[in-house]
Structure formats: structure tokens, C-alpha cells
Structure 1
């Protein structure tokens, strides 16, 4: 039996079949490697540029040659331009295959709404820390007669008093009404007649009072030239009427 096997292995027919099998195996291996190169687009890659600061449309125009697909989500980062790319994945200068999906984070056109935290009764230091934690800014500080020094008595936004829970855009600036530590005191009503708005504000604050409603009357061509001609409470020469520090004064202006 072994003699017949060895004899067959030495025949030209076996060598011919062996050579054919080897060539077939080589062809199969070559086809497999070539197919893998085609399907994985071997060698066909590109370097991602830095897309930050661009709009999605600008990024698409830049990447037309690479058949890149973009997936977009939004985020809000203070100081960034709305509608522009703030982050990308993969990172810039990364080598990627053509047809790769790139994930983009773009700056939201509208900041998210923040509920104003309860600040009343907190110290100035505590209020500042809470505001920063909520993504809000601390603006103007107005002092009002109160025995508690630098303790929050109220919060304002765009000149209006607001309460805890009020919705504000993230990054908004709020003002604080704080106690001056001296308690309530009575003062004479200041005379604001003939003062410009800025001069009146300076005088009002200098007397530990608050600016109330500002009303312009008549034709106003330059608001900086308008002057106070009436106030509430009114000032009367020789009158000894007093008001509490922290009270509001409404002013009426016109331009001569």
C-alpha cells in the first residue's frame, strides 16, 4: 500500500495536481487581500482640519472631497459665537478613512434657562459663589438701610425686582440689593430739579436712596441733555419732610 502511495507521489500527474492546488491557493489569498483593501479603502485617508469657529455649512464645504458625514449636537459655552463649532470628534489632525462620521458640538443660538436661586438672607460672599455656580453674573450692588451689613435683601434684573425661581438666560447679569449695616434712617428729600439722569442717579445713591421709575416727557432728541423737572416724592424748599433711606424716588425728565 505504501509503495503504491509513494509511487503515486512521484508521478507527473500528482505534481501537476499539486502545482494546480498551490496556484489556486495563491489566487484565493491574493483575491482575499485585494478585497480587504477595497472594502477598507486601504490607503485612502485624510487629515481632519480644525473646524472650531466654523459653521456647519462652512465645515461641509471644506470637507466635500472626503465624503465626510457630520452628526451635530448643541451645547452652550459662554463667550462662543452662536451657530459655530466648539468641539469635534475625532480631534483635529486625526487621520480618518473617507466616509467617516465626524461628531460636532455647535454653540446654541439660545442660552439655556436658569432658575434664579434663593439668595435673600445670604451674605455677599455666599451670593457671589451661588451665582457663579448657576452660571449667572453679579452686576450692580445697591445698598439699602438695614442692620445686616452685606446681606442680600433683594435681587434685580434689568432694573426690575425679581424673585427666586424666576427664569433667566444662562450668563445673565443680576443686581443685588444689600444691607449697609446702619439700619433705617430718615433723611431730607434731595432736590433733583435741573439735574441730568446721571447726576440725579449719583445724588440719589449718595443719599442711600433707590432710583424708581424714570419717565421722559415731551420731545427728546438727546436723552443725555434731558433734565429733571419733577420728582416723586417732591422736594419743597424749606419743607422738613423726611423719607427713609432705601426709599425710591421717581423722576420725570424733559429736554429744554
Structure 2
């Protein structure tokens, strides 16, 4: 044990320790600088700004500077097809030559959306609903109807369409609205011997509205009600009433007779 302690105090031991420490430091420095050289730490070329330009021009710019490119596409309303809207890495970032730049561009074809049900809705409500579906309002025309500024018809490419029709997102639809006036007088519909549900439809198309319903006799099935009287009724001397007039009816249990 005394010999080992004596060896630790010798110059030879100290030299051995210093050599070992120096060797470790040299190895670490070589590894550090070699890694920095291999990865080109602190060096690189800046990524150009290519958002907002057409993809053809963007590809030309990136390839001239030695970058690789990966492209994804998405549809964006009111953006020109082929426009670069995102890039990664961001413009100005220093990267190695040959680095892949990820781009997102606006694709050409818009996805289809189902036309929402805006019939009979006020114009303001219809505009908000269409906007939520990615659609726009094109032309608006008016026709005589008591429902002022309410949607009466929807047209696309000159053709009348119904809610649920598939059209490209971003499309413009034309609306036909009521002007609030309607005809001053309309024909009195003949509702006698009509079932109540059919009469409601007839009234809606005639410009008059359903008023008071009087039930006659015992009613056991509300789905089978026949109109036996109406007021005002169409006569030889009275055939028209003002638009929006209420038609009162009397119904009874039964089925429509020939």
C-alpha cells in the first residue's frame, strides 16, 4: 500500500494523468469541429419569399437556388388558383443547400357544397347563411309578393335550383325577392270539399292566408278534415279580395267526396 501511495507522488504518474486529460480534450475538440464542418454549422443560404406568387414562378426560383420542393393544395375562396399561400421554412431562414421547401397552394377545382334552404328567409339572413356555406349572392331581382325582401326563388347559371342542390363552393347564386306589394287584389280560392292540408297549400299560392278554423261535429282524426264552409266565399258578385285577406273556414270529420 505504501508503494502505491509513493507512486502517486511520482512525476511519472502526474505526466500520465496530464496526458490522459489532454487526450480527452483533443478528442472532444476534434469531434466538435468535425461535426461543425460536416453540418456546416452557422452557414447556409436564406429561403426566398415565395408566398403570394404563382407556383410556376415559385418553382423556378427555388430550383435555381438548389432547393427541393414538396407541394400540397387546398381550396381558398377569393384566391387565384396556383397561388402559394404558405411556405415552410419561412422566408429569410438560413438552411442548407438542397433543403426541401414545403409549399401550400390554392387548387383549381372548388369542392361542391349543398345549397342551404333559404327560401322564404329574409335577405339579410339568407346572405349570412350563404356566406357560412362559402357561397355568394349574385344578382337580385324582385317580383310582386307581399313578403318584402324575402327569398322567393334561387337561380344558378340562369336555372332555378332547390335547396340541397350541389354547386361549387364560391359560386354566386341569384335571388328573386318579394317587393312587398303583391297584387292589390287576388282571386278568392274555392276551398269547399278540400281537405285542410291541401287548402293550406292552395291559400299559400293564392296570396291569401288561413284565418280562423271552426270545427263542426265530433273530430276523431285531425288528419282527415274536410272544409264545408269558408268566409269570404267566391260568389257571382264577389270574386276577388285584397292580397293578404284571411279566409276563415269550417271543417268537419270526413273524406273528400267526388
* TM-score, scaled relative to structure 1: 0.63
Q: Structure 1 pair 27/108, CA: closer, same or farther in 2 (3 Å)?
A: same
Secondary structure class of the residue paired with 2:148: coil
Please say if 1:123 is aligned against 2:122.
yes
Q: Does the CA-based 8 Å contact 1:71-1:103 persist in structure 2?
A: yes
Q: Does the CA-based 8 Å contact 1:71-1:102 persist in structure 2?
A: yes
CA distance in 1, matches of 2:144, 2:54: 51
Please say if 1:179 is aligned against 2:159.
no
Shift of 1:141: 1.2
CA distance in 1, matches of 2:56, 2:14: 65
CA distance in 1, matches of 2:119, 2:20: 89
Counterpart for residue 216 of structure 1: none
Counterpart for residue 166 of structure 2: 167
Counterpart for residue 74 of structure 1: 73
Ranges of 4+ aligned residues in structure 1 off by more than 4 Å: none
Q: Does the CA-based 8 Å contact 2:62-2:68 persist in structure 1?
A: no
Q: Where does 1:160-239 land on structure 2 (aligned, <5 Å)? A: 160-184=159-183
Secondary structure class of the residue paired with 2:126: helix
Counterpart for residue 138 of structure 1: 137
Secondary structure class of the residue paired with 2:147: coil
Q: Does the CA-based 8 Å contact 1:131-1:137 persist in structure 2?
A: yes
- RMSD of the TM alignment (CA)? 2.4
Shift of 1:155: 0.3
* TM-score, scaled relative to structure 2: 0.63
Moved more, 48-57 or 130-139: 48-57
Shift of 1:117: 0.9
Q: Structure 1 pair 19/67, CA: closer, same or farther in 2 (3 Å)?
A: farther
